[in-house]
Amino acid sequence: MPISAGLLANADGGVVAAVARDPSGDWPTRLAAARLAAGMGVLGGAELKSLYAAAPTEAAPAFKSIALMVAPEFIRDKAARIAAEIAAAADFEGLYAASLLYADDIRALEGAVVPAQEARAFALARLAAGDAIGAERWLTASAPAMREGANDADLMRFIDLVGILSVLDSSGGERVAALANVAAAKPPVILPPAPSATDRNLAQLVGAAIGAAREGARGASALAAIAASDAAARGDAVAYAAMIESFAAAGLSDIVRRQHVERAIAAIYPEARAAVAAGAATPASAPDGMVPRLKPKRET
């Protein structure tokens, strides 16, 4: 019996990866599991690509088609197809999987002249992968179009991406913002929308995290962060906050930045925005749960 998407979404990472690797499974289910496992961090990019390469064409038509575009005359069509695959992602996990699948192609396209919309898509993919240098290059490529009179929707998305870049590399974000003549700031840290479970284990965990931070015990802080990660992954806001602060207290700032970036990118997607809006009080002037922002700065 085929495994439903709902069952996969609620399964542990090891189970999801096992489904992806199961040679007796049907290919659509295996590839869905592979994308999810990649987003969960339990399946690497090389293995994800190998699964897609082994799948029949009908299970991965876009990937197979793009893989055949090796001649120089196909470069624009290839860029457009990859950008479309990135744009088709419905959530962070899907985006992250696409960023892994097409990472080599996106790097190979650097320096090519592509429309600003495609350049922004490639920048988003590199941000999802934590590649600040690649993201800055693609945002830089799209900056002239933003400066010369893009519509407000495109400008606001560009500003969002520059803000996310600033989380990974504040200097890179400043350079791109100056080039495009926009004002961009780091996005706020977005807590999970689900209410905290007030159980004894969580209370003990938070207490341990506070104690470790107070004593400057980095190892204990890291352990507290790991202990909180399961509840945080289930949407517990208190556990998420404890995890992030414990990682910070442990000196693991790279992990904190990656979490910040992932949640900022996830908020781009409609379902994530709706969840945030449902779980947190927002000003009446902020429709759809979005934080009010200034209009983009333009040259006069």
Q: What number of other Cβ atoms are within 10 A of residue 185's Cβ?
A: 13
Question: Is 85 part of any domain?
Answer: yes
The confidence score (pLDDT) of residue 258 equals 80
Q: Pinpoint the alpha helices (H) of 181-269.
A: 200-215, 218-233, 237-249, 253-266
Domain ends where: 48, 67, 86? 67
Give per-residue pLDDT as tens, 166-219. Answer: 988 999 999 999 999 888 777 876 666 655 555 556 655 666 667 667 677 777
pLDDT at 155 over 60: yes
Question: Do 137 and 77 belong to one domain?
Answer: yes
Domain that holds residue 224: 200-266
Query: Does residue 98 lie within any of the structural domains?
Result: yes
Amino acid at 33: A
275 domain residue, yes or no: no
161 and 228 part of one domain? no
The neighbour count for residue 210, using CB atoms within 10 Å, is 16
- Please tell me the number of Cα atoms within 13 Å of 102 on its side-chain side: 32
Where residue 48 falls among pLDDT bands split at 50, 70, 90? very high
Checking if the pLDDT of 4 tops 50, the result is yes
In this structure, are 54 and 81 located in the same domain? Answer: no
Q: How many CA atoms lie within 13 A of 198 on its CB side?
A: 0
Alpha carbon of 229 to those of 15, 70, 285: distances in Å?
18, 42, 33
Least Cα distance to 190 among 151, 237, 150, 232 occurs for: 237
d(CA 213, CA 104) in angstroms, rounded, equals 40
Comparison of pLDDT for 193 and 130, the residue scoring more? 130
Tokens representing 229 are 């990660």
90: its two tokens? 């419905």
Same domain, yes or no: 21 and 97: no
Same domain, 208 and 245: yes
3-state helix, strand, coil in the chain (%, to 5): 70, 0, 30
Query: pLDDT tens-digit profile of 69-123?
Result: 999 999 999 999 999 999 998 888 889 999 999 999 999 999 899 999 999 999 9
- 83 and 139 inside one domain: yes
Asked whether residue 35 is assigned to any structural domain, the reply reads yes
Residue 19 counted as domain residue:
yes
What pLDDT is recorded for position 282? Answer: 36
Residue 281 lies in a domain: no
Selection from 137, 179, 175, 143 nearest residue 158 by Cα = 143
Classify residue 54: in a domain, yes or no: yes
- CA 220 to chain CA mean position, Å: 28
How many domains does the chain fold into? 3
- Say yes or no: 80 and 60 in one domain: no
